[in-house]
Structure formats: C-alpha cells, structure tokens
Amino acid sequence: MTSTSRLVLVRQALLAPQASVTIAVDTAYVASQQGNNISAGVYMMDNMVNNGSSNEGQMELSTVVPVGSLIGFNTVPIYPTSGDTVIITGFTVSQGNVFGSQGYPQQQPPLGNEPPGAYWIGQAMNAGRQIYQIQIAVTVGQIRPITYYVNWDPYITAQ
Amino acid sequence: MATGTPTVFIQIWVDINAIQNGSTAGLYLVDNRVGNGSQNEGSTNLSTNVTNGTTIQWNVYNIDPTSTAVLSLTAIGNASVWGAGGQPQADGKGGFVGQVQVTGSASYQITLNAQKQPGSAAITLKVNPGITVQ
C-alpha cells in the first residue's frame, strides 16, 4: 500500500498599500520619560504630502488619502542596532469613520528583520475625517527589558 | 578615518511621490538625540546635538517599504566639526559613517540619489542639516 502526500504551498499575496506611514521612534528618549506624556521622540511621516497630508515629521500627522486606499503603518527604532524594538499594539478610533469596520488596521507579516507587530495595514473605506489612536510598545534593554506603551492621536482624511 | 561604533543615527526618510530635482520636498530627517538637545526633528532643518568624539551613522529609507524605488546616499560634505579625521564616508552597506572631532556648530550637506523605478532617471536631492558638537 502506498500513500501520496502533496505539499501545497500557499503564497499569500503581499498587499501593496497606496499610502504608507512610517513611525520612527527614539527609543532611548521614550524610556527616559519613564511613562510620562511625551511630545517628542515619535516622528510620523507619510508619502502623501502631495495629496494634502500635513504635520509631516510630527506626532500629529494628518494623512490625506483617496477613498479606498490601503494604508501601511510601519514602526522603526531610529537606533537600529540598539536591540530596542518598537511594535504597534493596536488602533482605536475616537472620531470619524474612515476605517469603518471593514478597514480597521490588521497586523501584517513583518517586513525584513522587523519584529512581528511592526507592520500593519488598514483601509480608508469611507470618505471623511477621522481622529484615531495608535498604541505602540517600545521595549528597551535586553537583559531585563522594560516595555513602555505610547499612544497618541493623529488624523486621516479620505476624500 | 572615523573610528568607533555609531551611537548617533540620522535617518533620512523619503516620500518618493514628492521628490523633485533641486527640491527638499518629501524629505524628513530624524535622529536619536532629541533628549540631548537636537532640534527640528522630522524636517530637513534637523539640528543634531552630539558630544565630541561621537561616531554618527546616516541612512536613507523609503517611507513606502513595498516600493522598488532605488535610494542611495552619495555624499556628505565638509564641515569643521569633522576635524582632521572624522569626515563621513560610505560604509559599504548603503550608509555613511563619520565622527565629530571638533566642538562647535556647523551645517553640512547630504546628497542622495533616487530612482523612482529601477533604471529610471536619477533624481539628485540635497539637504543641509545642522550639527552642534559639545
């Protein structure tokens, strides 16, 4: 009696967002603030300034995208060899409905050597302006790592 | 020749949709020194504050991590703060590494090339951030 098994490889298509947001984090600065509110050390940039985005390079980035756009969110530590990590732990929406329920960001397979959680993609399903919250986890130190959580509220407009 | 392991990092983030020859649109500079007095984070006017003897690494990145655009740092210009032996040089891995060897404030020029697609015409971009060495 023989048996045959077939290995089926399923290759997940890599989504290609129309808009990308980078969140660059000065991990040592975040750690130095010991969990207090911060107004620096987290820098957001997108690739939609020609489409009307504003506050580039600041925490309160205001991203403007066409309705339907996939939006990638990627976190990176500015000191890449520190061993510190930055990942996104979640999104909430406090005002507006651009993501809707269908477009709420989801964690994606990590890019390159990034840790799981560093890359998420959402979709701007509905026209309008939205205030949303991103929460990131900044982990510093490798022997006895400490994680600091930071959240803030940037904007997305879909039109 | 610069010595030492880099502890200060300057990242240049590029919005490939916004860049044009001779313009600084779509370029954003950040460093890991805001707690030590760096200013204008997230802009092309970044002013980095470091202590004398620090080794600095510069890298360029695409804001769109799925893009096939080709970005490269091609030069970092002269500045008094590099001193006799700290002039930034290509590190062979796409970045530049240099060392501040003289105290004071200076501006310096970063030149990068961008191709929106592999093989397309190169766009030359220049920014002039500042640096203060204490």
ipTM: 0.95
Residue window 94-133, chain B: list those with CB within 8 Å of chain A: none
Cβ separation of B28 and A58 shorter than 8 Å? no
Candidates A15, A29, A33, A62: best to mutate against B (most CBs of B within 10 A) is A29
Of residues A15, A57, A112, nearest to B28 (C-beta)? A57
Q: What is the mean pLDDT of residues A79-83?
A: 92
The structure's pTM equals 0.94
Cβ separation of B63 and A45 shorter than 8 Å? yes
Cβ separation of B11 and A24 shorter than 8 Å? yes
3-state helix, strand, coil in chain A (%, to 5): 5, 45, 50
- What domains can you pick out in chain B, each with its CATH number? 8-133 (2.60.40.3910)
Alpha-carbon distance of B29 to B26, in angstroms, equals 10
pLDDT digits (tens, 9 = 90+) for A12-69: 557 899 999 999 999 999 999 998 889 999 999 999 999 999 999 999 999 999 999 9
Residue A131 distance to chain B (closest CA, Å): 21
Average confidence (pLDDT) per 10 residues, chain B, 134 residues: 85 97 96 98 98 98 96 98 97 96 98 94 97 98
Q: What is the dihedral of CA A31, A32, A34, A37, to 10 degrees?
A: -90
